[in-house]
Amino acid sequence: MPTDAVKPGRASLFYDPKIRGYVYQIVLLAVVAFLIWSAASNAIENLRAQKIASGFGFWHNAAGFDVNQKLIPFSAAASTYGQAFWVGLLNTLLVASIGIVLSTFLGFFVGVARLSSNWVLAKLAMIYVEVIRNLPLLLQLFFWYNAVLKPLPDARNSIALPGSIFLNNRGLILPNPQFGPAFQAVVIAFFVAVVVAFVFYRWSKTQQARTGTQYPNGLITLALILGVPLLVFFFAGSPLSFELPQQGRFNLTGGLQIFPEFVALLIGLTTYTAGFIAEVVRAGILAVSKGQTEAAHALGLRPGPTLKLVVIPQAMRVIIPPLTSNYLNLTKNSSLAVAIGYPDLVQVFTGTVLNQTGQAVEVVAITMAVYLTISLVTSLFMNIYNQRMALVER
């Protein structure tokens, strides 16, 4: 018996749950790595056997096709498949980022409206959520695309709006801003104003905490951010001109064109995601105990400040995690763009480029990596935000 007492250390090395945990994890990791390696080498071998071109050499080959909406220069004559990838990616990011901002506003509004004491408003919000959430997004996109296009006149009978703005079934055509070199100063002034406004905000908060004096933060911030760049703009001699759209044979030429595909996709994604965000917001607000509202009212706070200062900050803790997944969903759903002809990443890259090169494995792998990256970055930022919003226990 005494010998047992001498070597419990050796026995526990084998039975130590911690060590065993590590061993299992290493084994699992090795198995996963082996699976990935064997799948990849299997794919490469099969591609070679079938004489299907592989590798990333296609990236620098001439594209030979055109894309209508592009945020960077792209042409069939001079661009490569690699540039087509960037065109598609930027279009995806554009619609996703604007969609996230708009759906957040709309979702919060509808979510709060559904809890409103105004019966009509609450019921309208309920109908909105139930209708939007229960119809497939693809169907909604078709609806919006046709709804956007149908009432619009053809290009020869464009609706002329004040300020050289035209509307027809090719989109909304705006005067195209041409920035002079001195415009840089305005941009710099804007960023300086933002920093100054931020510093002032922090200062006013500490002042309020110290002395109780409240400053008109909103007004001052607005004056700084709008006023300073505007002043610089006039001092620099108004370095901004507009290229006005001209009526051509078929369509208006020149000008900045906002395509109906973009508008339809944006409306579709925004309204659809807002339906889910509204429910998340409602759940978040309902999760805040009623006692909090009653306590705030007892302190003499009106309903508006109660919502803003007491309820929403606590509800945010519940709201942020599901809100993050809705942002991710919106980004991923933007790939349905392919159905209504919006040139997003899936349409341009996984559609046209894949077809013209035939390199399915590479193209799909890149696309998957892109969506994964976008999702992880979104999650990262939302997690950082979540940590800041979480209750700070003192």
Positions touching other proteins (CB under 8 A) are 24, 27-28, 31-32, 34-35, 38-39, 41-42, 45-47, 49-53, 64-68, 76-77, 146, 149-150, 154-155, 169-170, 248-251, 253, 260-261, 338-341, 343, 347, 351-352, 354-358, 360
Minimum CB distance to other proteins, residue 241 (Å): 22
Exposed/middle/buried for residue 219 (C-beta within 10 Å: 0-12, 13-18, 19+): exposed
Minimum CB distance to other proteins, residue 93 (Å): 20
Q: With respect to other proteins, which residue has the nearer C-beta, 43 or 309?
A: 43
Q: With respect to other proteins, which residue has the nearer C-beta, 142 or 371?
A: 142
Q: How far apart are CA 168 and CA 369, in angstroms?
A: 38
Q: With respect to other proteins, which residue has the nearer C-beta, 230 or 338?
A: 338
Short-list 97, 90, 85, 92, CA closest to 71: 90
Minimum CB distance to other proteins, residue 41 (Å): 8
Q: With respect to other proteins, which residue has the nearer C-beta, 42 or 208?
A: 42
Q: With respect to other proteins, which residue has the nearer C-beta, 112 or 264?
A: 264
Minimum CB distance to other proteins, residue 191 (Å): 35
Q: With respect to other proteins, which residue has the nearer C-beta, 118 or 146?
A: 146
What's the Cα-to-Cα distance from 58 to each of 218, 298, 355, 360, rounded to whole Å?
52, 69, 12, 12
- Measure CA 38 to chain center: 36
Minimum CB distance to other proteins, residue 18 (Å): 14
Minimum CB distance to other proteins, residue 373 (Å): 24
Q: With respect to other proteins, which residue has the nearer C-beta, 174 or 189?
A: 174
**Residue 345 and residue 265 in contact, taking contact as beta carbons nearer than 8 Å:** no
Burial annotation 59-74 (CB, 10 A radius, 16+ → b, else e)? beeebebebebbeeeb
What's the Cα-to-Cα distance from 86 to each of 14, 33, 83, 338, rounded to whole Å?
53, 30, 5, 16
Short-list 388, 350, 356, 393, CA closest to 370: 350
Q: Residue 127 pairs with which residues in a beta bridge?
A: none
Q: DSSP letters of 146-163?
A: HHHHTTS--GGGPEEETT
Minimum CB distance to other proteins, residue 71 (Å): 16
Short-list 371, 72, 152, 131, CA closest to 274: 131
